[in-house]
Amino acid sequence: MPTLAISPPPWQPSPNVPQPRKWTVTEFDHLGELGCFEGRRAFLLDGVILEQGPMDPPHADAQEVLTEVVRSAFGSGWRFRIQTPLHVDQFNNPMPDLSVMAGTPGFHGAHPTTAALIVEVSDTTLRSDLTDKAERYATAGIADYWVLGLNGRQLHVFRDPQPLSTGLRATAYRKHLILGPTESVSPLAAPNATIRVTDLLP
């Protein structure tokens, strides 16, 4: 009797393909509470934990100066948070260098989700601050986002976040001003105040 040849069924990939794990802001904060980021500058973008490495003296000095200048411009009735959590959505906690929001310091019981002004001090992270973080802040509806570029001695001012075309499912800033040391800017939330770029630079 002839042998019946049986062909194996065509191979199909398993539906259980390993996928990257996205961390939530709650999980990220819990890791911080456990000491996982001790001595590190970690932040969360799109569920991915990133580290910036040690902060150099120019960055630290600029952040200190920036905070005092912005605090003077806004005056009372505002909170000034330095490298602290900002839960812009479930998978993004960018830990901005400075975030300003209405209110007074106190025990609020939860991390903020928005701010009137966010500023990033940038020496080694300029590209990411101008692209990746700008997109996350725009999507979160942050109306006023600044990037202080120390190496180029410029202040980048992003404003007017607007959704892009429907298919892209993203939001971007329509205005991007690049200001030099001799120029000035007024925060949207403190329009009567004037901040000179040179006062923010070393």
22 within some domain: no
Question: Within 10 Å of residue 97's Cβ, how many Cβ atoms?
Answer: 24
AA letter at 2: P
| Residue 124, in any domain of the structure | yes
Give the global pTM: 0.86
What would the pLDDT profile of 112-167 be if each residue is shown by its tens digit? Answer: 999 999 999 998 889 999 999 999 999 999 999 999 999 999 999 999 999 887 66
Q: Can you list the alpha helix ranges (DSSP code H) found in 18-165? A: 25-33, 57-74, 126-130, 132-139
Give the pLDDT confidence score for residue 2 in this predicted structure: 58
In a domain, 191, yes or no: yes
Assess if residue 177 is contained within a domain: yes
Residue 20 has pLDDT above 90, yes or no: no
User: Which range marks the domain in which residue 129 is found?
Assistant: 54-200
Q: How does DSSP assign 30-53, residue by residue?
A: HHHHTTTTTTS-EEEETTEEEE--
Backbone φ and ψ for 139, nearest 5 degrees, come out as -65, -30
Total domains present in the chain: 1
Q: Is residue 140 part of a domain?
A: yes
Answer yes or no: is 107 within a domain: yes
Residue 47 lies in a domain: no
CATH assignment at residue 170: 3.90.1570.10
Q: Are 193 and 184 in contact (CB under 8 A)?
A: no
Using CB atoms within 10 Å of the CB of residue 147, give its burial: 0 to 12 exposed, 13 to 18 middle, 19+ buried: buried
Q: Has residue 106 been placed in a domain? A: yes
Task: Count the neighbouring beta carbons within 10 Å of the beta carbon of residue 36.
Answer: 12
If one counts every other C-beta atom within 10 angstroms of the C-beta of residue 86, the result is 25
Whole-number Å distance between alpha carbons of 29 and 22: 14
